[in-house]
A and B are shown apart, each in its own frame.
Chain A
Amino acid sequence: MIGTTRPGFTAAQYGVCLKGIVWREALRFLHQRERFVAALVRPLVWLFIFAAGFRQVLGMSIIPPYETYVLYEVYITPGLMLLIQLFNGMLSSLSMVYDREMGNMRTLLVSPLPRWFLIVSKLVAGMAVSLPQVYTFLAIAWFWEIEAPVIGYIAVLPALMLTGLMLGSLGMLMSSLTKQLENFASAMNFVIFPMFFASSALYPLWRVREASPWLYLICELNPFTHAVELVRFALYVQIDWVSLAVVVGCTALFMVGAILAYDPSRGLVARRGEP
């Protein structure tokens, strides 16, 4: 009787599964219009109010990849793109914790496809949902006269896919460490704000070094800094190799961590007991 089903799955079946997971994430996103609005309002507040106010205070010098003096708004745009992805990654992991409490996570994890594939698909889905958010923000910024070279908008796509995966994996890893929603919400405060502020998102690092060498070191070690720089350079059709290496390395590290954490026999989820 065992011979009645063919062992393993075909590539097409893997494809169907991935597509299904991304499709569900997209549907959920479309149903949560407030989430989309909130995701856009957050960076726009920074751009329209914070950056406008700081324009006079913070003088910019010419630093790569920029070839001329740039407005402060232009400088912080890549950081704000990443802010969208950071929140998206954390919220999508928040939905993992919520799903785990509500049981939706169970539906995903009892799929017969390999666990690592389900986790990676979930990460791809979260990343995919972040892309239209970032591009909508870029479109609005464009009317605010924050214009990158046209080809930069295409060149930045692979960079955004990578950073989206990195931040999603980080969130997923965190979600496996926290059992309850409240804990996770507070954990977000300890991650999102330090990551964002101790990075090159809002100020160039040479200025930070002048202020505090220690803070400069922390910023340099912060993967978020490298995600921001990777995107900043890509938007001007350049590659920052160090940042690329750091982002690829961190993505791999966080992803493997998340897969191990959700592995039933080894994982933290299993060790702690009830889901």
Chain B
Amino acid sequence: MGRGNLAAIASLLMAVEQPELPALDVEGVSHRYGARQALIDASFPVAPATFTVLLGLNGAGKTTLFSLTTRLYGIQRGLIRIFGHDVSRAPSEALRMVGVVFQARTLDLDLSVVQNLIYHAALHGIGAHEARARAAAMLERIALSDRANDKVRNLSGGEMRRVEIARALLHSPRLLLLDEPTVGLDIKSRAAILDHVRGMVKEGISVLWATHLIDEVSQHDQVVVLHQGRVLACGTAAHIIEAAGTGDIRSAFIALTQTGEAA
């Protein structure tokens, strides 16, 4: 038995013994833009291979949280860890494990679908040859193989979103962050994207899905309720409904945010 095999077994054993690290760990994060406090002492985990919904109205602080997690801004207070890697201290290690779909469209409209994907792969140090193979496989999965060489400008809104999700997964991240990914899409595209992303959780990818659309939450999802920069509740949807003493997540959200405002 080679030394490499032994090492592999040893690391496997260690992995089994280690308690599983959260995919994302947000601890006491506060952030302000000048006088405006966007996040106040926000804490919550995202467990590995779960679908976690970050639920909040517009302006709740969801996008700020995403910007801090992806290191667009420095973290002013608190700690964000991705699979144990501190975003402030080891940004490279943390960022290579994350795929992001931003709220704003971020594809290059004048480039083809494949060119966009190759560019993204290059930003992760993946060469063009390997990138082409991965892109082809990804496009196959999202059923857009026939559009590979079309300019992104000619795609529909739903197709662009699917390409952005494929792009976010190109470097095989273990955590996928999506910021309001279904905004501006028709009902059919919304359902298709939601299904697609839920399917990925079954393959072991952890998902943080930020939305203000309550009907995107299902009973078994993990939910983090964010309101005016504060985390008001965190747990499974069923648990949150029970704790709020309401019949569904919509009324639980309303009840929570109203007490939040009163407090």
Contact = CB atoms under 8 A, between A and B. Distances in A.
A interface SS class: helix
Contact of B92 (A8, A264, A274): A8
A218 B14 CA distance: 67
Interface string B100-142: 1010111010110001001111111111100000000000000
A2 B122 CA distance: 23
A21 B71 CA distance: 20
Given A2-B83, A103-B106, A17 B111 contact: no
Given A31-B110, A102-B105, A112-B124, A9 B72 contact: no
Nearest to B172: A5
A110 B83 contact: no
Contacts of A2: 21, 83-85
Interface residues of B, number: 48
A5 B111 contact: no
A274 to B, nearest CB: 7
A7 interface: yes
B72 A106 contact: yes
A19 B127 CA distance: 9
B83 A1 contact: yes
A275 to B, nearest CB: 6
A67 B33 CA distance: 60
Contact of B123 (A5, A107, A273): A107
Nearest to A1: B15
Contacts of B220: none
Interface residues of A, number: 44
A19 B122 contact: yes
Contacts of A1: 15, 18, 20-21, 83-84
B126 A110 contact: no
Contacts of A60: none
Shortest 3 CB-CB distances between A and B: which pairs?
A20-B122, A13-B125, A265-B74
Interface of A: 1-3, 5, 7-10, 12-14, 16-17, 19-21, 23-24, 27-28, 31-32, 102-104, 106-114, 118, 263-266, 269-270, 273-275
Given A2-B21, A9-B92, A263-B74, 7 more contacts: A1-B20, A16-B125, A16-B127, A17-B125, A19-B122, A27-B115, A270-B73
